Structure 1
Amino acid sequence: MSRVSARSVIVLGVVGALVTACLWWLAGGGTGPQGGGTPVERAAAPVAEARQLRLGLNIAAGSALHAAAELFAERVAERSNGRLRITVHPDQQLGSDDQMLEMARNGSLDLVLTPTAKLSSAVPAMQYADLPFYFSGRDELYAMLDGEPGELLLSKLGRIDLVGLTFWENGFKQFTANTPIRRPEDFARLRIRTMKSPLIADQFASLGATPIPIDFHATYQALKDGAVDGEENPLVAIVGMRFHEVQKHLTLSNHAYLAYVFSASRKVYETLSPEMREIIRQTARELTLWERQETARREADFIARIRAAGVEVHTLSADERRHFAQVMAPIADKFGFEVGYDLLAKTEELRFAQAARSGEAKGRQPWVLALDADLSARGAQAGGAIYRGAQMAIDDINRKGGLLGAPLRLLARDHAANPMAGRRNLELFASIPSVLAVMGGMHSTVVTEELDDIHRLKMPYLVPWAAAQGITLHDHRPSYTFRVSINDTQVAPFLLERALRRHSRLAVLIEQSPWGRSNEAALRPLLERLPAGNVELVWFQDGDAGIDATVDELVRAGRQAIVFVGNGIEAGVVVKALARQDRPIPVFAHWALVGGDFWGANQARLEKVDLRFVQSVVEEDALRNRSFATFLGNYRQRYGLGNGAPVPSLMGSAHAYDAVQLLARAVTRASSPDRGAIRNALESGVGYSGVMKDYRPAFTPERHDALDRSQLKLARFDGRGRIVPAD
């Protein structure tokens, strides 16, 4: 094929889009590869064992994404000396986005470019770039996607059998409307077309607009008929779908980003040699900058076309962006469980480091509460709950003026249930002068492994969720660990005693870990007083695949109930094994299982199995505790939960809220950011009328546990997944 003109490319792009009835994008000419033959045909001379791969995408031929894909195919062929040949299939030639994703997952499609919106149902974290006004601009967003947050996002694709390579784009989203959009208030009472996304719907509802989900291809008619007043999309889609013909105003807001994930089928990728994998990965990443620049180059032409159509174009000023960002700020935390607190924490950490390096921050620098938590592994829900409770307390403290004349902020790092990661986090936090204290959770194993470091670094350490005795009962003096949670000396006997009220022949299934041994030590005095054989103690390893067989043996042996001390994964295996029984025996469990979405994963089985677990607080406590009722109401409003919706790991949020408030009072009493002075103030009788109880005092030199057995109760899941009293 001879070299074609930019005008010819435009015409071909329009014709192709009309033929396919998919006017998503309008080509604007390109600077991509041209010349005789396709990119693959222009590659090195063919070799005998060339591997043929297919790359599928939904974008029209001639678009920036398509041009980059063709260039990718050409360079891979060159670098592999013809051993890899890639054919590019644009315009959904191989199927819809959903169909191509399924093909890639099962290995029948090799490579795929997918909009993050289409991936977010399977990998909710892909909504990261949809967070409105979350990024300060292009440079910051690109730095995040090309850095650790992006690597974290790509790694999550492994859950659906894809290998993430890089992020390409279709551009930043902009607002169009029939009225000027300059301020958040300008959205009041407007009807805005959205895609079907709770996050995006909440974005516009927060601005006072009415979000109306409408199919992309029906949007033009809805705008023309006045069914909606505006919409958001990248410029390429606005022009390609001719939205500018039925809208009077365009606001260049760059408020969110339509990223495309370049990924490979894991089943295919693993069949390639390491050399070929690296060629694919490195080439895709090298072309990321080219694809972004090409998209931006074409956007200048799109803006000119929109202006030529008589549309008024406004670019948000820095002050206008800041105003929008302030209004939209709560959305990231509100959707933290969907996007992932591990991802949000990493982003905030990088921002904190960048500000420190560049000296960007102005005025009085904030004090820092550091959070060392499981934000991505089996306790991620508990970690997120702690994050939420801490952030709610920090916001309340800052509304009252902050601490020591400056605001307080949260800085979190994920330890992913790995003690070594937790220890590294502690070292980093200790090196930051503005860190006043560290909060840790969940997983007793992590905290107990950190004890030597906590005391070597002389770091006040608050524990809102971890029950091992050794966390506060240890030989370090002075002690820097303070717990607003329950100690196993109370939890384990409470569980066994409650089970013994109804059953005489029990089994105690207990995890072989520091936490498990802490529970066994707490149970030993009670077990020694019971008749021999009444209670059988059975140990299991974390991740034990044979625990279901153990459950079967216990049932056959005539055990009437199980007291379970372990995490949610193993608890799920126990419930599954019992659900198979004709007459399942009941389970009395430690609270660790509510650190994840246990009900969601075991809903059907829980209809058959009587599972009860210990809690320190349930929603019904709001009927008797005004402070808790206020906290719960504020939580539901902040996170958009109706009265009937379950609150994820409520206990963790309530404990964390009180722990931060107690820390604030200790800092105020110490009148100093000195960590030793804060430690001394914490154990000097600081009091507070809190969510969980009236702390008078919370801690003493002899007692670093703020809660006691009087807070314990048995709970269960109701039919909607809410945690309710079981007694």
Structure 2
Amino acid sequence: MKGKVFIYMAAIMLLAGMVFAAWRFFYSDTSKSQEQTQTSVPEPHYNLRLGLNLSADSALHAAAQRFAQQVSARSGGRIEVTLYPDQLLGTDEQMIEMAREGKLDLLLTPTAKLSVDVPAMQYADLPFYFADRSELYTMLDGEPGKLLLSKLYDIGLVGIAFWENGFKQFTANRPIRRPEDFTGLRIRTMKSRLLMDQFSAMHAEPVVIDFATLYQALADGAVDGQENPLVAIAGKRLYEVQKHLTLSNHAWLGYVFSASRKVLESLPQDLRNLIIDTARELTTWEREETARREIAFLDTIRAAGVEIHELSDEERQRFVEALTPIARRYGFDVGYDLLAKTDELRTLALLAQAEKNNLPAISLPWLIGLDADLSGTGLVAGGSILRGMEMAVADINAKGGILGRPLRIVARDHRQNPQRGIQNMEAFDGMPGMLAIMGGMQASIVQDELEAIHRLQIPVLIPWAAGSGVIHHDYRPSYTFRVSIDDGWAAPFLLEHAQRRGRHVAVLLEQSAWGRSNEEALKPVIAKFPPDTIELEWLNRGETDFSARLAELQSRGVDVLLLVATAPESKALVEAMAQMEKPMPIYAHWGFTGGKFWQQSHNALNKVDLRFVQTILIENNKRNTRVTVFTEQYRAHYGLAEIDPIPAPIGAVHAYDLVQILALAVRQAGNGDHAAIQAALETLKKPYAGIVRDYHPPFTSDRHDALGPEVLRLARYDRWGRVVEAE
């Protein structure tokens, strides 16, 4: 029996072993098969198209060829780039649209062609704005360039690098060595308001002519001169019909290497990085190749008998002075966030050089900072404040500066972010010679900065923010000083006027610290009115549809609105109001004037009666000669015609007065010590005849508001967008 059991168990074990062996064989074979299947799947390949408008013999095309070769090699053939020069895929405008839609992968586009959708791309078109190539490249490859490229994202492109077609030079049939030499000449230009204004400023007549017909226009005498890089002057043989070339290097014809946002974001991350890194690495080679070829172009032009002039430092400076107003005029178009960053880097370079050379402090400028929104919903307010500061600084420096040293502005964009604002404060405090900081539009930002302001103990001047908390706080001694209004008296002023206009008022307040400040100011006033005649509602930042809300309010008998909101929400509300059969009048706080409200809403304002609070009305103010002089100087400084609106004028006026008051305080203190300046601001002995009012004194130890409710006025926009008297 035992023998049979043993045999039986042995048979079972043998069978189990065979099954296990078979399973192992099958599993191993299957795994190998799966592994072989997985490893045999080829990696995806991408065939990308790159479009550009230049010919195959250009430096840009040569760099693009290198890009294609290096990307293919570095990716192991996973990416192949095919070039399409000479506008084979369409015009620049068509290629831009194709890339935005994801129908073209990569492109090289002149900055001028991108400026239609991104006006900031006019940055390098500003005449004589950059000292030399080195400074321009430093800016384009640094923070300003990154900021500029980032602006392409919103139009469906990813900006990668700045390549170039060279610096622009002047040609004419007479020598051009001074701005006056352009007087009376007809100069060909592209269709660009900035470029046309450039030549008009030198008393030439700008004439828009297509580049394809430029040679014939010069040959026929239809125009007397033009501007272009040497590659265009030589390539188009313009030297055959022009007698003089001026090496002015006055502006730069840049090309943006960009990618379709849709296409780039569809690629694996490693390939995205490969494309971006390769294009950026080739930037230096492309620029050097452009410069190398320009030597040959000059030889060709010189051999044709053209007289070549190179501007001396003195001659160049005369052009700089003549064309500086162009850069000022286009500040809002190019963007004060970009221009401010450029000026900051220039100032930091100046300070670094002074430290390196161990120069005494007396040889350096005094600094005043600006911490404001230069790129968001308050960008018009921020730019207006900066302009008021610029005017005051120009006036102060023309009179010898402060204590023998010139004054200089350093502006930083806090982008409506309080943490960035605090970082700005700390950065300013670390700059030698920083006297004080000017704040921006948003009261909530200033309130969040109060701890940092008083920890650093640096005077902060407020030209706009109306929130009560920016001045009325528990920090002692207080370092915040304001030339602006306070919600405590602005909100009741508006309610009083609104209540005179209608029987039932609805107050719409933004859900923010600013809105709550107005609520606190209105509560005791509302309590004095009969019940059900005034109601209060809140609106949210980003709210875009007010049609149903307005209809509901009107159905409840509301016949006038009081509005406290910034530009985007105000625009949406006014446009909804314009669609109503019987639009209600609106009385508004001035916050919306700090954004691009009028530019976006002027058509709706033809149907809506909108009135808003101001401290001073500078248009057609014949009663105040100081206002008249300021307005005339402002328009001359920024190249504006009489009917051109002064953007957000109260920002400029308040900032101007504050800088002048600061200068008096520093002179009284006798030095740049922050505590001494704070004390001098509270005890200023010398009166100042300002634009808004006479300040005698502007502040005291227990009063840091320089204005009072007596300055309040009601305003409206006229048909040109100027802020004028409403009643």
Paired letter, 1:486: I
- Residue from 204, 211, 219 that aligns with 2:214: 219
State the alpha-carbon separation in 2 of the partners of residues 53 and 433 from structure 1: 51
CA deviation after TM superposition for structure 1 residue 308, in Å: 0.7
Are 1:250 and 2:245 an aligned pair? yes
CA deviation after TM superposition for structure 1 residue 322, in Å: 3.3
Provide the residue aligned with 2:471 in structure 1: 472
Provide the residue aligned with 2:223 in structure 1: 228
State the alpha-carbon separation in 2 of the partners of residues 251 and 203 from structure 1: 16
Asked if 2 retains the 8 angstrom alpha-carbon contact of 1:578 and 1:584, the reply is yes
State the alpha-carbon separation in 1 of the partners of residues 660 and 368 from structure 2: 11
Provide the residue aligned with 2:711 in structure 1: 711
Are 1:335 and 2:334 an aligned pair? no
Provide the residue aligned with 1:650 in structure 2: 649
Asked if 1 retains the 8 angstrom alpha-carbon contact of 2:328 and 2:637, the reply is no
Paired letter, 1:475: D
State the alpha-carbon separation in 2 of the partners of residues 622 and 279 from structure 1: 60
Q: TM-score by structure 1 length?
A: 0.91
Provide the residue aligned with 1:641 in structure 2: 640
Q: Deviations over 1:463-495 (max 9, x none)?
A: 111100011111111111111111111111011
Provide the residue aligned with 1:701 in structure 2: 701
> In terms of mean alpha carbon deviation, does 126-135 or 709-718 score higher?
709-718
Paired letter, 1:422: G
State the alpha-carbon separation in 1 of the partners of residues 78 and 548 from structure 2: 50
State the alpha-carbon separation in 2 of the partners of residues 250 and 218 from structure 1: 20
State the alpha-carbon separation in 1 of the partners of residues 601 and 200 from structure 2: 33
Q: SS of the counterpart of 1:664?
A: helix
State the alpha-carbon separation in 1 of the partners of residues 625 and 262 from structure 2: 56
Provide the residue aligned with 1:543 in structure 2: 542
Provide the residue aligned with 2:24 in structure 1: none
Are 1:149 and 2:144 an aligned pair? yes
Provide the residue aligned with 1:674 in structure 2: 673
Map 1:3-82; keep pairs closer than 5 Å: 49-82=44-77
Asked if 1 retains the 8 angstrom alpha-carbon contact of 2:645 and 2:723, the reply is yes
Q: Deviations over 1:443-473 (max 9, x none)?
A: 1111111111111111111111110001111
CA deviation after TM superposition for structure 1 residue 653, in Å: 0.8
Asked if 1 retains the 8 angstrom alpha-carbon contact of 2:173 and 2:244, the reply is yes
CA deviation after TM superposition for structure 1 residue 148, in Å: 0.4
Map 1:507-518; keep pairs closer than 5 Å: 507-518=506-517
Paired letter, 2:718: D
Q: SS of the counterpart of 1:507?
A: strand
CA deviation after TM superposition for structure 1 residue 621, in Å: 5.4
Are 1:690 and 2:685 an aligned pair? no
Are 1:357 and 2:352 an aligned pair? yes
State the alpha-carbon separation in 2 of the partners of residues 570 and 659 from structure 1: 30
Paired letter, 1:326: E
State the alpha-carbon separation in 2 of the partners of residues 318 and 640 from structure 1: 25
CA deviation after TM superposition for structure 1 residue 203, in Å: 2.2
Structure 1 residue ranges (4+ consecutive) displaced by more than 6 angstroms after TM superposition: 360-363
State the alpha-carbon separation in 1 of the partners of residues 373 and 551 from structure 2: 32
Q: Deviations over 1:140-181 (max 9, x none)?
A: 111110110000000111221111111110001111122222
CA deviation after TM superposition for structure 1 residue 533, in Å: 2.3
State the alpha-carbon separation in 2 of the partners of residues 549 and 542 from structure 1: 17
Are 1:108 and 2:122 an aligned pair? no
Are 1:347 and 2:346 an aligned pair? no
Paired letter, 2:424: N
Provide the residue aligned with 1:603 in structure 2: 602
Provide the residue aligned with 2:621 in structure 1: 622
- Residue from 252, 268, 293 that aligns with 1:298: 293
State the alpha-carbon separation in 2 of the partners of residues 666 and 461 from structure 1: 13
- Residue from 86, 106, 112 that aligns with 2:81: 86
Paired letter, 2:659: V
Asked if 2 retains the 8 angstrom alpha-carbon contact of 1:52 and 1:86, the reply is yes
State the alpha-carbon separation in 1 of the partners of residues 719 and 185 from structure 2: 38
Q: Give the 3 Å change call, closer, same or farther, for CA 48–461 of structure 1 in structure 2.
A: closer
State the alpha-carbon separation in 2 of the partners of residues 50 and 271 from structure 1: 13
Asked if 2 retains the 8 angstrom alpha-carbon contact of 1:540 and 1:547, the reply is no
Q: Deviations over 1:306-353 (max 9, x none)?
A: 111011222223343334323333322221011111111000111111
Are 1:450 and 2:449 an aligned pair? yes
**Over alpha carbons, which structure has the higher Rg?**
2
Provide the residue aligned with 1:181 in structure 2: 176
Asked if 2 retains the 8 angstrom alpha-carbon contact of 1:47 and 1:83, the reply is no
Are 1:326 and 2:321 an aligned pair? yes
State the alpha-carbon separation in 2 of the partners of residues 609 and 323 from structure 1: 48
- Residue from 236, 239, 245 that aligns with 2:234: 239
State the alpha-carbon separation in 2 of the partners of residues 662 and 54 from structure 1: 59
Q: SS of the counterpart of 2:363?
A: coil
Provide the residue aligned with 2:12 in structure 1: none
CA deviation after TM superposition for structure 1 residue 706, in Å: 1.3
Asked if 2 retains the 8 angstrom alpha-carbon contact of 1:509 and 1:537, the reply is yes
Number of equivalent positions: 682
Paired letter, 2:89: L
CA deviation after TM superposition for structure 1 residue 69, in Å: 1.2
Q: SS of the counterpart of 1:253?
A: strand
Q: Deviations over 1:475-526 (max 9, x none)?
A: 1111111111111111110111111012121211111222111111111110
Paired letter, 2:559: Q
Paired letter, 1:481: T
Q: Structure 2: which 5+ residue stretches go unaligned?
A: 1-40
State the alpha-carbon separation in 1 of the partners of residues 554 and 74 from structure 2: 62
Q: TM-score by structure 2 length?
A: 0.91
Q: Give the 3 Å change call, closer, same or farther, for CA 237–47 of structure 1 in structure 2.
A: farther
Sequence identity percentage: 57
State the alpha-carbon separation in 2 of the partners of residues 623 and 598 from structure 1: 27
State the alpha-carbon separation in 2 of the partners of residues 349 and 222 from structure 1: 43
- Residue from 305, 313, 327 that aligns with 2:308: 313
Paired letter, 1:719: R
Paired letter, 2:621: A
State the alpha-carbon separation in 2 of the partners of residues 547 and 670 from structure 1: 53
Provide the residue aligned with 1:566 in structure 2: 565
Paired letter, 2:107: V
Provide the residue aligned with 1:661 in structure 2: 660
Provide the residue aligned with 2:409 in structure 1: 410
Q: SS of the counterpart of 1:635?
A: helix
Provide the residue aligned with 1:95 in structure 2: 90
CA deviation after TM superposition for structure 1 residue 548, in Å: 5.0
Provide the residue aligned with 1:139 in structure 2: 134
Paired letter, 2:254: A
CA deviation after TM superposition for structure 1 residue 403, in Å: 0.4
Provide the residue aligned with 1:21 in structure 2: none
Asked if 1 retains the 8 angstrom alpha-carbon contact of 2:583 and 2:608, the reply is yes
Asked if 2 retains the 8 angstrom alpha-carbon contact of 1:667 and 1:681, the reply is yes
> In terms of mean alpha carbon deviation, does 316-325 or 398-407 score higher?
316-325
Provide the residue aligned with 1:197 in structure 2: 192
Q: Structure 1: which 5+ residue stretches go unaligned?
A: 1-45
Provide the residue aligned with 1:432 in structure 2: 431
State the alpha-carbon separation in 1 of the partners of residues 689 and 244 from structure 2: 52
State the alpha-carbon separation in 1 of the partners of residues 671 and 480 from structure 2: 19
Q: SS of the counterpart of 2:259?
A: strand
Asked if 1 retains the 8 angstrom alpha-carbon contact of 2:49 and 2:84, the reply is yes
Q: SS of the counterpart of 2:435?
A: strand
RMSD: 1.8
Asked if 1 retains the 8 angstrom alpha-carbon contact of 2:369 and 2:409, the reply is yes
State the alpha-carbon separation in 2 of the partners of residues 221 and 485 from structure 1: 58
Asked if 2 retains the 8 angstrom alpha-carbon contact of 1:552 and 1:577, the reply is no
Paired letter, 1:612: R
Provide the residue aligned with 2:5 in structure 1: none
CA deviation after TM superposition for structure 1 residue 603, in Å: 2.2
> In terms of mean alpha carbon deviation, does 181-190 or 701-710 score higher?
181-190
CA deviation after TM superposition for structure 1 residue 545, in Å: 4.8
